């Protein structure tokens, strides 16, 4: 995709859609607030930057040469999402405090690094490396849109965290996030099975 305006809308559509990284950003903000969740955006940007760069430089040729590499990435993501879901489900709401970061930078970074959205960006949205265009304007637009989308999900999570009396929604957020991540893992697994049938 070489048109910058179309590129911007495509990036916004993908980054605004629910996904594993957005679920973590939303959950964090609902539990510990906007201010303590904002640094997680750096982990998201770092994860996307590395994932998209590696996919563009190495992933395309590697997937073409070894088709099972793409399958391995998705299986790793499914496993990681299920592990993260289990940890979130096991969280004791009584232990959740706003003075600690509940969702870590590492969790957001790894989740984003393995996020299937990175594959979409690398192979369908960013212009092809052989298109002869500078990647800089696309990278700048991607970063700005990612900042806006992430801030939107964090704000949404903070609003949810304030719902209900005595922080009821805040206590339910880890389990809700666990369910969302499990559903996403199942959707990715189902797409793998469908592709094999």
Measured from the Cβ of residue 165, the count of other Cβ atoms closer than 10 Å reads: 6
Q: Which range among 41-55, 70-84, 142-156 shows the weakest confidence by mean pLDDT?
A: 70-84
Give the pLDDT mean for 140-145.
96
Nearest partner of 112 among 44, 13, 23, judged by Cα: 44
Q: In whole angstroms, how far apart are CA 130 and each of 34, 57, 125, 133?
A: 40, 11, 14, 8
In tens, the pLDDT along 123-132 reads: 888 887 766 6
- DSSP string for 99-145: TS-SS-HHHHHHHHHH-HHHHHIIIIISPPGGG---SHHHHHHHHHH
Give the pLDDT mean for 92-100.
56
| pLDDT band of 138, cuts 50, 70, 90 | very high
Rg (CA), the chain: 17
Residue 86 to residue 55: CA distance in whole angstroms: 29
Q: Which carries the bigger pLDDT value, residue 56 or residue 70?
A: 56
Q: What pLDDT score does 148 carry?
A: 97
Q: What pLDDT score does 197 carry?
A: 58
Rounded percentage of the chain residues whose pLDDT exceeds 70 = 86
Whether the per-residue pLDDT at 93 is higher than 70: the answer is no
Q: What pLDDT score does 94 carry?
A: 56
Nearest partner of 140 among 154, 126, 152, judged by Cα: 126
Q: Which range among 79-83, 106-110, 146-150, 163-167 shows the weakest confidence by mean pLDDT?
A: 163-167
Q: What pLDDT score does 141 carry?
A: 96
Whether the per-residue pLDDT at 173 is higher than 90: the answer is no
Whether the per-residue pLDDT at 106 is higher than 90: the answer is yes
pTM of the model: 0.77
In tens, the pLDDT along 12-50 reads: 998 998 888 998 999 899 888 899 999 999 999 999 999
In tens, the pLDDT along 114-124 reads: 888 888 888 88
Q: Which carries the bigger pLDDT value, residue 170 or residue 100?
A: 170
């Amino acid at each position: 995709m070489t048109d910058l305006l179309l590129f911007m809308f495509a990036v916004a559509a993908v980054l605004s859609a629910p996904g594993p990284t957005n679920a973590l950003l939303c959950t964090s903000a609902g539990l510990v607030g906007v201010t303590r969740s904002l640094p997680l955006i750096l982990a998201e940007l770092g994860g996307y930057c590395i994932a998209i760069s590696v996919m563009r430089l190495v992933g395309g040729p590697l997937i073409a040469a070894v088709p099972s590499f793409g399958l391995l990435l998705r299986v790793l993501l499914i496993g990681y999402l299920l592990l993260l879901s289990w940890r979130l489900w096991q969280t004791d709401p009584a232990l959740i405090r706003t003075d600690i970061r509940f969702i870590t930078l590492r969790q957001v970074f790894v989740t984003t690094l393995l996020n299937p959205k990175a594959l979409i960006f690398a192979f369908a949205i960013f212009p092809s490396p052989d298109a002869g265009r500078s990647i800089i304007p696309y990278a700048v637009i991607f970063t700005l849109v990612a900042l806006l989308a992430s801030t939107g999900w964090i704000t949404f999570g903070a609003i949810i965290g304030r719902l209900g009396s005595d922080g009821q929604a805040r206590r339910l957020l880890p389990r809700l996030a666990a369910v969302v991540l499990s559903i996403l893992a199942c959707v990715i697994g189902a797409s793998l099975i469908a592709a094999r049938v």
